[in-house]
Structure 1
Amino acid sequence: MRIVVSGTHASGKSTLVADFARRAAGFEVFPDPFELLDETPDDPDVDVFLAQLWLSADRLVEVPAGARVIAERGPLDFVAYLDALEALGRPAAPEAEREREVGAAADAMQHVDLLVVLPLSTHDRIEVSEDEDPELRTAMDAALLDLVDAPAVVAGTRVLEVSGRPEERLAQLVAATTG
């Protein structure tokens, strides 16, 4: 099973991926693409999000059917960040490039069996400081949820939205992978 865990920054992705990897033997963990970039600025920008989009898309396309992989973030995350930058009036990718970016994300999603989405929720109580750019965090969350609702982008991938405390999120993911 090829799983991607998506959500805005500070939404609980790392915790869920780590908890699942400890619980479900035999899954290879793909880290957040940000960790794989050679040089990154303190404040991610268009170029950083584009680099992560292509890295995350490429690694999913390379995973064969039947592999047991859980990836922290997928290309939809970075399309959502790019959309959020534009919505906030910040420097964004050229509009002419959006079709190519969304196409790459949709192509990569054809290699995903389960997309796990962690939407922001007041019930989950994950607080962030101002240096985490809460405005971008909220805008990305809204953009991601819009993308997940677009059948042409999700490409028929099964989508599971999880919420609650970390142990509740884990139980929801485990149930989705064993049922």
Structure 2
Amino acid sequence: MRIVVSGTHASGKTTLIDDLVAAHPEFERLGDPFELVDDALDEPDASTFFEQLVSSARRLMTDAAGRTIVAERGPLDFLAYLGALVELRRGGRSSSLFERGFAIAAEAMRRVDLLVVLPLHHRDAVPVGDDEDLELRAAMDVALLELVDDPDLVGDHVRVIEVSGDWAARLAAVERALGA
């Protein structure tokens, strides 16, 4: 089984995955793909998000026979960041990278069983520092929620749940989805 936890930055993905893996130590955790790219970058750009999209897609397309993997972020997250850059008129190559990334994301999502989306609700959000790009954060959230409704990306084979509330409510929602 492949589970992807998606959401904009500081939406609670890491905490939810920590809680899920603590409850299910047999689950294999795949960290945030941002850790796989050049950490010398201060501010991610369109090419950085595209690189992360490719990395996250590649790891979902590997064989997970008999294992349950929980991935922090998937290709839809990075497609949403590219879409947000287009919407905000940032990053010159965002549109072309979005188009290229769409097909890659769609292919990788065919291998996902459960997509857990953490929409950005200000009452649930993790506090962020003054150095965060709040405009990009909000635009990515909107873009992600639109993408998870796109049948060309998610189809009818991926179970999608949106979770919100406190940490216990979020974990309980995922547990219910796993039990169904």
Shorter chain as normaliser: what TM range? Answer: over 0.9
The correspondence of residues 1-179 of structure 1 with structure 2, limited to 5 A, is 1-156=1-156, 157-179=158-180
CA distance in 2 between partners of 1:90 and 1:41 (Å):
17
SS at the partner of 1:11? coil
> Matched residue of 1:14: which SS?
helix
Kindly provide the amino acid, as one letter, of the partner of residue 177 in structure 2: A
User: Does the CA contact (< 8 Å) of 2:85 and 2:91 recur in 1?
Assistant: yes
State the secondary structure of the residue aligned to 1:63: coil
Structure 2 SS opposite 1:49:
helix
Q: How many residues align?
A: 179
Q: TM-score normalised to the size of structure 2? A: 0.93
SS in 1 for 2:9: coil
Runs of 4+ residues deviating >6 angstroms: none
Identical aligned residues as a percent: 53
**Take 1:48 and 1:80, find their aligned partners in 2: how far apart are those partners?**
13
CA distance in 2, matches of 1:135, 1:127: 15
Q: Please give the per-residue CA displacement for 1:147-168, whole angstroms capped at 9, x wherever unaligned.
A: 0011111132110100001111
Query: How far apart are residue 92 of structure 1 and its match?
Result: 4.1
**2: distance between equivalents of 1:89 and 1:41?**
20
1:132, distance to aligned residue in structure 2 (A): 1.1
For structure 2, the residue ranges without an aligned partner over 5 or more in a row are none
Q: Per-residue CA shift, 1:55-113, capped at 9, x if unaligned?
A: 00000011335431000000000000000011111114353443321110010001100
Higher helix content, 1 or 2? 1
Moved more, 151-160 or 101-110: 151-160
Provide the C-alpha distance between the structure 2 equivalents of 1:64 and 1:125, rounded to a whole number of angstroms: 31
One-letter identity of the residue aligned with 1:117: V
**Which runs of 5 or more residues in structure 1 are unaligned?**
none
Relative to structure 1, the CA distance from residue 94 to residue 123 in structure 2 (aligned partners, 3 Å threshold; closer, same or farther) is closer
Q: 1:66 to 1:159 in 2, by over 3 A?
A: farther
